[in-house]
Amino acid sequence: KQRDAMFAPERVSCVEASTKSGKTISGLQWLADQASRHGRPGRKFWWVAPIYRQSQIAFERLARQLPPKLFPRSESGPSIQWPNGAEIQFRSAENPDGLYAEDVWAAVIDEASRVRRESWYAIRSTLTFTRGPLRIIGNVKGRKNWAYELARRAEQGDPGMHYAKITAHDAVEAGVLDAREIEEARRDLPEHIFNELYLAIPSDDAGTP
């Protein structure tokens, strides 16, 4: 399910997934594949998270998998140079104005339901010239956010869009999560919080404006 969700042929894939179900790792694999196959000198590939620390965590996960002599890190910020001249940059969505101007060749928006709508507008604009593909991933967080709206369009079969849902039960079946841990989380958390974080079922009153 991770592979089908990330490597779908459609330009845009919206992935509503359980916490700790492997969406970050599979998203990083997809972005690395995009940079490998479509990278050229000067081409930028983006990983965007709601805050800087979250994007840095993704950077560290990918960097640990790559030999630094072949994939040097930038000294100016969390980014990785690809042997073909491309660059994967790890960005924060905290300041929407800072996301404009670049031409981006592929992007992942991580924890998209927690990213501001204005930042989504900015990221979308960077893909206009390149017609670059996009993966929108994260937990469900209410219905009042752009990621939920876009996921419903994808689920309804909008052209060029793919929809996937990966629940905690899917992750248990695949051996990614432990069934006992999921049941303990169910007991520990309020029902609406558990449903959002583990089953990708939205509540009615949460979400980013």
Q: What is the pLDDT of residues 110-157, one digit of tens each?
A: 999 999 999 999 999 999 999 999 999 999 999 999 999 999 999 999
Q: How far is Cα 23 from Cα 47, in angstroms, rounded to an integer? A: 13
76, 33 contact by CB (below 8 A): no
Per-residue pLDDT reduced to its tens digit, 37-93: 999 999 999 999 999 999 999 999 999 999 999 999 987 789 999 999 999 999 999
Distance CA 72, CA 66 (A): 9
Decide: pTM greater than 0.85.
yes
At residue 105 the predicted structure's pLDDT band, cuts being 50, 70 and 90, is very high
List the one residue out of 144, 134, 85, 80 whose CA is nearest residue 114: 144
Length of the chain: 209
Q: How far is CA 12 from the centre of its chain?
A: 11
Mean pLDDT of 3-12: 96
Amino acid at 64: R
The order of strands in the sheet holding 161-166 is 79-81, 87-92, 44-49, 104-109, 134-138, 12-17, 161-166
Q: Do 18 and 170 contact (CB within 8 A), yes or no? A: yes
Could you give the dihedral angle defined by the CA atoms of residues 183, 188, 193 and 197, in that order, rounded to the nearest 10 degrees? Answer: -40
Rounded Cα distance, 57 and 50, in Å: 12
Burial of 52 (0-12, 13-18, 19+ CB in 10 A): middle
Residue 87: strand pairing partners: 44, 81
Q: Any bridge partners for residue 89, and if so which? A: 46, 79
Read off φ and ψ for residue 182, nearest 5 degrees.
-65, -45
Q: What is the pLDDT of residue 141?
A: 94
Q: What is the DSSP letter of 12?
A: E
Would you say 126 and 107 are in contact if contact means Cβ atoms under 8 Å apart? Answer: yes
Instruction: For 150-208, write each residue's pLDDT tens digit.
Output: 999 999 999 999 999 999 999 999 999 999 999 999 999 999 999 999 999 998 754 45
